[in-house]
Chains A and B, each alone.
Chain A
Amino acid sequence: AQSVTQLGSHVSVSEGALVLLRCNYSSSVPPYLFWYVQYPNQGLQLLLKYTSAATLVKGINGFEAEFKKSETSFHLTKPSAHMSDAAEYFCAVSAHAGGTSYGKLTFGQGTILTVHP
């Protein structure tokens, strides 16, 4: 079984400030972890993915996330927020064992990021 908890349904930052979106996961097998972004009236777009290689993962648009097994966390960060980063962000986990993907993503509830000028 697997689950994802995103701490904070809304995060508000000023333009140029650090963005930190929190995600904790639970998985009975080594997980693959994802961050997706959803802009208004659009589908989900993959930001980045952790697949048991490097623990610090760099994604698109200047975002990165660090896998911390001891803390069961996969927090998303960006050093300097831009107005265009305003969107809803979803953390997700999928179960993988023996190199086989089960193809089932479990999503967190989402965090809405607001960026103020």
Chain B
Amino acid sequence: ETGVTQTPRHLVMGMTNKKSLKCEQHLGHNAMYWYKQSAKKPLELMFVYNFKEQTENNSVPSRFSPECPNSSHLFLHLHTLQPEDSALYLCASSQEGAERDEQYFGPGTRLTVT
């Protein structure tokens, strides 16, 4: 595997379900991000982890719970979601503090909440 991978690629869940999104980066980076991409809206930064420490929480509802067990893995735990949470969830990673600190994105998980 190379780059940033995300699983599953598609997820349909009911409002009472609990599910998790997984992201893994194979680039040796030290920072990871969750973004939400909804139709007709700009990408929204949700969470930032730097060296496994959460450094940003962009006023995200508590029904979204991130977890970063190490610098290569990032999870987004979902529970009691709402239909408006249906979106493409993108994970990204970067090497913070380096000259080339651009973010590399995974393919995303298309989430549908019914």
Contact = CB atoms under 8 A, between A and B. Distances in A.
- To the question of whether A and B form a pair in one complex, the answer is yes
Interface of A: 34, 36, 41-46, 49, 51, 90, 100-101, 103-105, 107-110
Contacts of B55: 103
Interface of B: 4, 6, 31, 33, 40-43, 45, 48, 50, 55-56, 90, 92, 94, 96-97, 99, 101-108, 110
B28 to A, nearest CB: 16
Given A107-B42, A108-B42, A101 B96 contact: yes
Contacts of B110: 41
A20 to B, nearest CB: 21
A110 B101 contact: no
A42 B102 contact: no
A41 B37 CA distance: 12
Instruction: Identify whether the interface residues of A are mostly helix, strand, loop, or mixed.
Output: strand
Given A101-B101, A103-B31, A103-B101, A43 B106 contact: yes
Given A103-B96, A104-B56, A109-B41, A46 B48 contact: no
Contacts of B92: 43-44
Contact of B42 (A36, A46, A104, A110): A110
A43 B104 CA distance: 9
B42 A43 contact: no
Contacts of B106: 43
Contacts of A107: 42-43
Given A104-B48, A107-B43, A109-B42, A43 B97 contact: no
Given A43-B90, A46-B102, A109-B41, A103 B107 contact: no
Contacts of A42: 107-108
A34 B45 CA distance: 16
A29 B33 CA distance: 22
B42 A41 contact: no
6 contacts: A41-B110, A43-B107, A103-B96, A108-B42, A109-B41, A110-B42
A105 B92 CA distance: 11
A8 to B, nearest CB: 14
